[in-house]
Structure 1
C-alpha cells in the first residue's frame, strides 16, 4: 500500500554548495551514498532544508536527475513541489519529468495567507494535476498559515491521490484529531525531529528528518524501534539527540545541519543568502555534541 511506502525515517536532503555558492554535486553524491549505506527509508529532494527558494530551475532539475540516477530505485524519492502560485505549480506538475520520483511533497502556500477554503481549493487543483501521490506539508511557523485538522481531513477524503501529511505545526491536539478521523490509506508523518516519538505513539508512521542528514543510522534505529513497539528503547536512544536537535534549529534550518555535516567532513559550510551559517557559539556547541554521539 502507498501509505506504507513512506513509513520510517525519510531525510530532507540538504543542497551542498561550493565556496563560490554553486551547487556541489560531488558533495551531493557523498551525502546520497551516506544515506543509502545507513538504512534511510526514503529521500526528500528540494524540500525546505534544500534551500529550494534560492535554487534556479535548471539547478532543481539537475539535482532531481542526479538523485534519481544515484538512488537507482533502491529507496523511494519524494520531490518538493510547493509554493504560493497555484497555477505555476499546476504547470510544473503537468510538464516536469518525474521519472524515478515516487511522490510530491507540497507545502501550504506561504505569505499569501489563504483561508481554509483557499487551501482546500489549492490542494484540489494540485491533486487534479499531479501524476503522482501528494503529501501535504503543514509548517505554520514558516508559512504564516495553519492547515487545520478539518481542512486536512477534507482534502484527504476528497482528493484520493493525497496520501499523507507532513505535520510540523507542533500542535498535538490537531495531529491527534487528524490521526483519529483520517480515512483509510491516509497517513501522518512528523515534520519535526523532536516530535517524532509523540507522533508515532499517536499513530503516525515516521518522520521526514533534518537530523537524519548527519546521523541516519542512529535515527533510523530510533524510528524503527518506535514503529515496532519498542518505545522505551526508542526513547533511550533518542535522548542522546535532544540537545543536538535543539542546536539544529537555534540559528535556523538548514544552517544547523550544514554545520554538522561540515564538521563531519561531508560538505562546505556554505548557504545562500538570505541564510547564513550558524554563530561561532552555536558551532562550538554542535562540535561538542557530535563528539558525544560518535564516541
Structure 2
C-alpha cells in the first residue's frame, strides 16, 4: 500500500520573496528541479517548509500550487501535525487531500506528553485519517522522544504505515527495524544517517539536502537499497561537507542558500529564522561550484 514511500522523498522548502510573501515561481522551479533529479516523492508543509510561520490560507495555496505543478507525476505527502490533537483532527477534515497520498505527522512538541499520551494522540489520528499516516519522531525539535516500544505499538494500527525517524539514536532505529511488522516503513529523517539506515534494512529518507542535490541523493539511496554499498557510500562521502553546511546555522536557512547558489530560488526566510552568515554562504558557494 505504501511502497511508493521507499527511496528518496524531499521535504520541500518554501521560497519567499524579499517582502516575505510566497514566491510561487520559486516553488515551481524547486518542484521541477526535484522531479527532474529523480526523487521518488515530495513532502509538502513539513518543518523545512517553515510551516509554523505560514497562515492557514498560505498553507492551502502552497499545497494546491505544488499539487498543480506536480500534476500527479510523483506521490505527494502533506504535513499535518502539532501539539493539539483536536486541532489536528479538525485540520485533517478541513484540508483538501485529494491530490495527496499520505500524511506526515510529528510527535507533539512543547507540552511533552508521556509515551501513553503519544500513543493515544496517534491512535486518534489513525482513527480519523483518510490517508495513510507516517509518524515523525524528531526529539531535537519536539523535546520528547517517541521510544521504539511506542513506535512498534503504533505500527499495529491500520493507517500507520511507517515512521520518519530522526532521533539520532541508531540503537533505537535498530530496535524498530528488528521488530517491526513486515510492511512498516522505516524512513530516515536525518540526511547523514540515511544511508546507514538503508543498509541496516530501512526504506529510504525524507531529505532536506536532497532537494539541493536530487540526482546525487536519490541515486545514493537507490544504490543503498540495491546493496551497492561501495558506490552508495562514495556518493555520501562526496556530499558529507554540504550535509554539515546545510544544518550548521539551522534548517532551512542552509538549504535555501544552496538553492540560491544553484539559481533555483532565493534564500529568504521568515523570522525568527535568519539567512546564513557570509562565512557559511562562502563555504556553500565553494561546494556548489565544485560539485
TM-score under structure 2 length normalisation: 0.99
In structure 2, how many angstroms separate the alpha carbons of the residues matched to 1:169 and 1:269?
27
| Shift, 1:201, TM fit | 1.2
> Given the alignment of the two structures, is residue 9 of structure 1 paired with residue 1 of structure 2, yes or no?
no
Q: Distance in 2 between matches of 1:230 and 1:184?
A: 22
Which residue of 1 is the match for residue 18 of structure 2?
Answer: 19
Corresponding residue of 1:195: 193
SS at match of 1:39: coil
Match of 1:62 in 2: 61
Q: Which residue of 2 aligns with 1:120?
A: 119
In structure 1, distance between residues paired with 2:4 and 2:212: 23
Match of 1:255 in 2: 253
TM superposition shift of 1:279: 1.0
Encode CA deviations 1:182-218: one digit per residue, 9 max, x unaligned. 1122110000110011100111110001111111011
The CA deviation at 1:95 is 2.5
How far does the alpha carbon of each residue in 1:136-164 deviate from its partner, in whole angstroms, 9 at most, with x for none? 0000001100000000001111x211000
Residue aligning to 2:128: 129
Paired position in structure 2 for 1:272: 270
Correspondence list, 1:50-89, <5 A? 50-89=49-88
Residue 88 of structure 1 aligns to a residue whose secondary structure is helix
1:78-99 Cα offsets, whole Å, 9 max, x none, are 0000100100001111221101
Aligned to 1:69, the other structure's residue is in SS state helix
**TM-score scaled by structure 1?**
0.97
Deviation at 1:244, TM superposition (A): 0.5
- CA distance, structure 2, for counterparts of residue 169 and residue 36 of structure 1: 28
User: Secondary structure at the residue paired with 2:145?
Assistant: coil
Q: Following the alignment from structure 1 to structure 2, what is the Cα–Cα distance between the partners of residues 18 and 70?
A: 19
Match of 1:223 in 2: 221
Q: How many residues align?
A: 291
Distance 1:6 1:239 in 2: 24
> What corresponds to 2:180 in structure 1?
182
Q: Distance in 1 between matches of 2:264 and 2:160?
A: 35
- Distance in 1, matches of 2:181 and 2:229, equals 26
In the alignment, structure 1 segments of 5+ residues that lack a partner are none
Helix, strand or coil at the partner of 1:204:
coil
2:165 paired residue number: 167
Cα deviations by residue, 1:269-290 (Å, 9 ceiling, x for unpaired):
2000000011111111111111
- Listed as ranges, the gaps of 5+ residues in structure 2 are none
* C-alpha RMSD of matched pairs (Å): 0.8
Q: Give the distance between the partners of 2:114 and 2:197, measured in 1 at CA.
A: 26
| Secondary structure of 1:273 counterpart | coil
The residue that corresponds to 1:32 in the other structure is: 31
Structure 1 segments, 4+ long, off by >3 Å, are: none
Structure 2 Cα separation of the partners of residues 68 and 268 of structure 1: 21
Find the aligned partners of 1:270 and 1:36 in 2 and give their Cα distance: 23
